[in-house]
Amino acid sequence: MAKVKLPVQKNQKITATIADLTYEGMGVAKVEGYPLFVQAALPGEEVVLHVLKTNKNYGFAKVVEWITKSPARVEGNGNAYTQTGIAPLQHLAYAEQLKFKRKLVVDLLKKAHLEDLEVAPTLGMSEPLHYRNKAQVPVRMVDGKLATGFFRKGSHKFVALKDFLIQDQRIDEVLQVCCEILQKHGISAYDEEKHQGTLRHLMVRRGYYSKEVLVVLVTRSAKLRDAQQIAQEIMATCPDVVGVLQNINSAKTNVILGETTQNLAGKNEIIDELNGLKFKISAQSFYQVNPTQTEKLYNLAIEQAGLSGQETVIDAYCGIGTISLNLAKHAKKVYGVEIVEQAIEDAKQNAKLNGLANIEFEVGNAEDWMATWQKQGIKPDVIVVDPPRKGLTESLITSATQMQPQKIVYVSCNPATLVRDLQSFMEKGYHVSAPLQPVDQFPQTAHVESVTVLERKK
């Protein structure tokens, strides 16, 4: 078979203009229609490129010289945040990031022939840095010392970092204190090639309102020299740390946490608030990482649901009850369902903690429980879905629409699966009744969340 002749070759230097951004936030240059993906380049910039890799349909290149720069470019945060994928959009002005995220949704709707649907401007943050309330960072030996950092995208090359740009600054400080204390006790860092060494990751969670901090030392083996002493020293040095845990992960894996977690000192969880509701957050709890934006997201979902206090609501992916409890303040009755047993235990505890009795939680598949509730004669006025990135299953969409709620509120973390699912709902007698609202939960990254309200056609 004849080899396809490409317009560019590996290691070639070319001058090009960046035409667009991909959904991951990479620049795109076109050479005779052939796309080259370029990290940290912005539309409108004229650049000299070094071609790194080519295949039949597209290639990758890096900028070796900027001939012109975009007025939307932000300088000065250092390449490490882009290279490690922590903040792939940090070089793009924040107002432009918000436009880019709206455009992601608009483009996907257009592709699906749903361009008639309106998309509101993205709801952003006033301070789009240092927002994450949770860190999970690898630890490695650098120049004989324990260092926190991240891996370069697509590689095992460790980049040491002390300031993570998008994490709560207090979390960054606690990480460094932990490293110093562990170093003093002679604790070694994990070596993934040899599968040796002790400390794999440090995980830190911090309450945005409570200011309570939980530290988790993720180790390869159960044996951790001076474990209790280390924990006491961390708590003595950082009085806001209310608990230190050890998680054991002995597997050769890139999964961060293992199955076993044990308490070394203090409490097993922190308590924080969302919209005035208290939540217990343990090491494994799924809890939104951007508290201020989460409050906006949930308030929006409640507003879109149009609750008057008389409604029955189903929350189909309830987790530890964050949305359910927010809904329960405005509805007559809320039913929450979640496949993770521990999350449902936490959800029940959180309902108790807030004195909310108009709420029931069940473990299992949402579609199975919907069928059960339907048999029991439960008629929801509103169903709220907040699925993982893969979106909804066709069977869940069928179960939800068979219950004939007046409204379905879809909280999405992936516009591609959202658009696919909207088509399915529309085929089953629902229509989008308000502009889709993108919400920026993860500034400096290409992720976008959104809230969409669907209503049953009369």
User: Quick one: pLDDT at residue 3?
Assistant: 64
Question: What are the residue numbers of the active site?
Answer: 413
Pairing of strands 59-66, 13-21: unpaired
Chain segment 119-135, per-residue pLDDT in tens: 999 999 999 999 999 99
Average pLDDT of the segment spanning 308-323:
95
* Spatial CA neighbour of 63 closest among 77, 76, 47: 47
- The third-level CATH classification (topology) of the domain covering 13-73 is OB fold (Dihydrolipoamide Acetyltransferase, E2P) (2.40.50)
Query: Would you say residue 262 has pLDDT above 80?
Result: yes
CATH number of this structure's domain 134-274: 2.40.50.1070
- CA distances from residue 338 to 165, 397, 403 in whole angstroms, order as listed: 33, 16, 18
pLDDT given at position 372: 94
Domain ranges for the chain, please list them.
13-73, 134-274, 290-456
CATH number of 290-456: 3.40.50.150
Identify the band that residue 2 occupies on the pLDDT scale cut at 50, 70 and 90.
low
In three-state secondary structure terms, 284 is coil
The token pair that represents 142 in the structure block = 């650098």
Provide the sign of the torsion angle of the four alpha carbons 301, 305, 307, 310, taken in this order: negative
Same fold, 13-73 and 134-274: yes
- Give pLDDT tens digits for 349-391: 999 999 999 999 999 999 899 999 999 999 999 999 999 999 9
Q: Which of 148-157, 201-210, 235-244 has the lowest mean pLDDT?
A: 148-157
- Across 163-227, the runs of DSSP E, i.e. the strands, are 199-206, 213-219
- Residue 137 is which amino acid? V
The reported pLDDT for the residue numbered 410 is 97
Asked whether residue 99 carries a pLDDT value surpassing 80, the answer given is yes
pLDDT at position 136 over 70: yes
* pLDDT at 307 > cutoff 70: yes
pLDDT at 341: 93
Separation between Cα atoms, residue 202 and residue 420, nearest integer Å: 37
Inform me whether the pLDDT recorded for 439 exceeds 90: yes
Q: Nearest to residue 16, comparing CAs of 56, 65, 53, 88? A: 65
* Contact call for residues 362 and 337 (beta carbons, < 8 A): yes
Residue 32, exposed/middle/buried by CB under 10 A (0-12, 13-18, 19+)? exposed
Helix (H) or strand (E) holding 137: strand 134-142
Residues above pLDDT 90, as percent of the chain: 91
